[in-house]
Amino acid sequence: MKVAIVGASGAVGQEFLRVLDERNFPLDELVLFGSKRSAGTKYTFRGKQIEVKLLQHNDDFKGVDIAFTSAGAGTSKEFAETITKHGAVMIDNSSAFRMDADIPLVVPEVNAADAKDRPRGIIANPNCTTIQMVVALKAIEQLSHIKTVHVSTYQAASGAGAAAMDELYEQYRQVLAGEPVTVEKFAYQLAFNLIPQIDVFMENGYTKEEMKMFNETRKIMHSDVKVSATCVRVPALRSHSESIWVETERPISVEEAREAFAKGDGLVLMDNPEKKEYPMPLFLAGKDPVYVGRIRKDLSNENGLTFWIVGDQIKKGAALNAVQIAEYLIKEKAL
């Protein structure tokens, strides 16, 4: 098995190296690709140094079985043909193809089998906020169809990349040192602040990030659910949190929901208010599952249920989900 990582130096690219190793992914050879900026950099994988190659339009992907790509939508679009033309399956973390009808959009806990039908050799990894939300929604959907979702996200700096995480650290240092604050990766200073804008605004007043949650959720869940989202950047480092309200076809009790979350694939129930136990991003960075807590009946709607989730954005929100897709294909002999 020959595996490629495109965008190896980014936050998600680096996480791919860790996740592949951690999960004992069955690979014989790993090749790394990057931009001019990262070409030549060496990373250690399973005791061996691997040099990042410059991503170019050539035959470097000949013999590659799986290519994990995380170098932005522009690069994915430009290089999709080069990457897939010799038969590699491209598992793409960018937004380039997510809503294309002939590209499966996959969260293994929810719609793994969709990954088998990929006429263009490309499988899209959903947006991080959608991935962690649908893992939780799946548990409820199995009890009763979800008609509507209202969600507010609390998205960590990691969603904007490795340099943005560094900027957040630096901003805290600058504020505490009384120095001018550097703002490059975010629209405003994020340290000691919240920014209710992620990605650009659309004509309907929602941001692109918020519309991703609407559209991607429907595609992954094969559902007519309507998702109304408010996405907010918060000064946490790498786990995204979400406050979710669902309206189901029939009323769901807290006990039923709790049981469904406890046994849900990829979920960990962390809901013990008396002991102040609930998921928090600071303590869940680097963890695989999506954590659920604060489960309550909605007070304004008999069919409403509300809860809180936290998931590591770089892991389940990106690299881990993509690797799980690959693991599924290997298990099903569907590469």
Distance separating alpha carbons of residues 285 and 281, to the nearest angstrom: 6
The residue with its CB nearest to ligand 2RA is 159
Site for ligand 2RA in 74-93 (CB under 6 A): none
Work out which of 96, 198, 270, 320 binds ligand 2RA, going by CB under 6 A.
198
* Encoded amino acid at 2, one letter: K
> Annotation-wise, does 180 bind a ligand?
yes
Structure tokens at 28: 């014989």
The answer to whether 5 contacts ligand 2RA (rule: CB under 6 A) is no
Report 207-236 residues binding ligand 2RA (CB under 6 A): 209
As measured in angstroms, the least distance from the Cβ of 130 to ligand 2RA is: 9
Question: Is 317 annotated for ligand binding?
Answer: no
Residue 3: exposed, middle, or buried by beta-carbon count in 10 A (0-12, 13-18, 19+)? buried
The answer to whether 321 contacts ligand 2RA (rule: CB under 6 A) is no
Per CB under 6 A, contacts with ligand 2RA among 97-116 are: none
Q: Does 160 bind ligand 2RA (CB under 6 A)?
A: yes
User: Given 128, 150, 222, 231, which residue is catalytic?
Assistant: 128
Nearer CB in complex with ligand 2RA: 14/129: 129
User: Does 322 participate in binding ligand 2RA (rule CB under 6 A)?
Assistant: no
Among 7, 10, 159, 304, binds ligand 2RA (CB under 6 A): 159
Task: Give the length of the chain.
Answer: 335
70 is in an annotated binding site: no
Candidates 127-135, 189-197, 216-224, 253-261; binding stretch for ligand 2RA (CB under 6 A) = 127-135
Q: Which residues pair with 191 in a beta bridge?
A: none
Burial string for 167-180 (b: 16+ CB within 10 Å, else e) reads bbeebeebeeeeee
128 binds ligand 2RA (CB under 6 A): yes
240 as an active site residue: the answer is yes
Q: Which span sits near ligand 2RA by CB under 6 A: 58-66, 79-87, 126-134, 284-292? A: 126-134
Residue 167 or 271 with smaller CB distance to ligand 2RA = 167
Q: Which residues are catalytic?
A: 128, 240
* Residue ranges in contact with ligand 2RA by CB under 6 A: 127-129, 155, 159-160, 198, 209
